[in-house]
Amino acid sequence: MFHARVGSGQLHLRQGDITQYLVDAIVNAANSRLAGGGGVDGAIHRAAGMAELRGACAAIIDVIGSLATGEAVITPGFNLPARYIIHTVGPVWRGGLRGEPARLRDAYLNCLRLAHEHDLQSVAFPAISCGVYGYPVEPGARVALAALREGLEAGLVEEVNMVLHGPENLAVWSGVAEELL
Ligand code: ADP
């Protein structure tokens, strides 16, 4: 675990299952079709309720066509403890020279902006892009924590929880956080 005050807010790094978090919104590492899938996306769909969440995502896709990398949209949390789900699309890692860091930063900050617009104060994030999308954990943590610091310093939300899967991930993220925060 790692905790820091950032601006007037709080940043917590924790290990666990994001679907269990009682916060205003959890973030989903979605795909551009909001089609559900494996990893954290699948876990969130199962816990929220497949039919309900698929329906809400399909209604958004009907309007916007697809969700661009780095952008974010919001749905209800349905059966989750969290009231809302903010869906964002992280970049697929292609070596790091194709705009991946900027897109990953956008993903974190646009989630915080959307939370702010909906007057949500507590948000939980998974390690966006650091699973199937292949973003290496340490550089991913560095970009994510810098973006979260920026958002907290700007007062977008009061509380950010980074929910990491497994003790190795938590150790790497905590090391980067000690350095950056
Ligand atoms: P992406 O496609 O953006 O890489 P993934 O779902 O494959 O998304 O992985 C993102 C991160 O979420 C990975 O570090 C993975 O271990 C983690 N993860 C998977 N399930 C959960 C969960 N239930 N709670 C929190 N993190 C999770």
Q: Convert the pLDDT of each residue in 117-169 to its tens digit.
A: 999 999 999 999 999 999 999 999 999 999 999 999 999 999 999 999 999 99
Residue whose CB lies within 8 A of the most ligand 1 atoms, among 165, 169, 173, for a mutation test: 165
pLDDT above 70 coverage of the chain, percent: 100
Condensed to tens digits (0 to 9), the pLDDT of residues 21-34 reads 999 999 999 999 99
The answer to whether residue 44 scores a pLDDT higher than 90 is yes
The answer to whether residue 71 scores a pLDDT higher than 90 is yes
Domains of the chain: total: 1
User: With a 6 A CB cut-off, is 128 part of the ligand 1 pocket?
Assistant: yes
Q: Rounded mean pLDDT of the chain?
A: 98
Q: In what order do the strands lie in the sheet with 159-164?
A: 2-6, 9-15, 159-164, 122-125, 25-29, 84-88, 72-76
Grouping H, G, I as helix, E, B as strand and the rest as coil, residue 37 is coil
Please give the C-alpha separations between residue 93 and each of 46, 54, 74, 86, 140, in angstroms, as whole numbers: 26, 26, 24, 22, 10
Q: What domain range is 96 assigned to?
A: 2-180
**What does the pLDDT read at residue 141?**
98
Strands 72-76 and 84-88: antiparallel
**What does the pLDDT read at residue 138?**
98
Q: How many residues does this entry show for the chain? A: 181
Instruction: Determine the atom of ligand 1 nearest the C-alpha atom of 166.
Output: 16
Q: Which two tokens stand for residue 73?
A: 């949209």
**What does the pLDDT read at residue 1?**
83
34, 27, 38, 39: which is closest to 56 by C-alpha?
A: 34
Active site residue 41: yes
C-alpha neighbours within 13 Å on the C-beta side of residue 158 = 6
**Cα–Cα–Cα angle for 144, 174, 99, nearest 5°?**
25
Instruction: State in Å: Cα 86 to ligand 1 middle.
Output: 15
Q: What CATH number has the domain bearing residue 11? A: 3.40.220.10
The answer to whether residue 6 scores a pLDDT higher than 90 is yes
Instruction: Determine the atom of ligand 1 nearest the C-alpha atom of 19.
Output: 23
Instruction: State in Å: Cα 116 to ligand 1 middle.
Output: 24
Instruction: Determine the atom of ligand 1 nearest the C-alpha atom of 128.
Output: 3
The answer to whether residue 43 scores a pLDDT higher than 90 is yes
Question: Which residue lies with its CA nearest to atom 21 of ligand 1?
Answer: 40
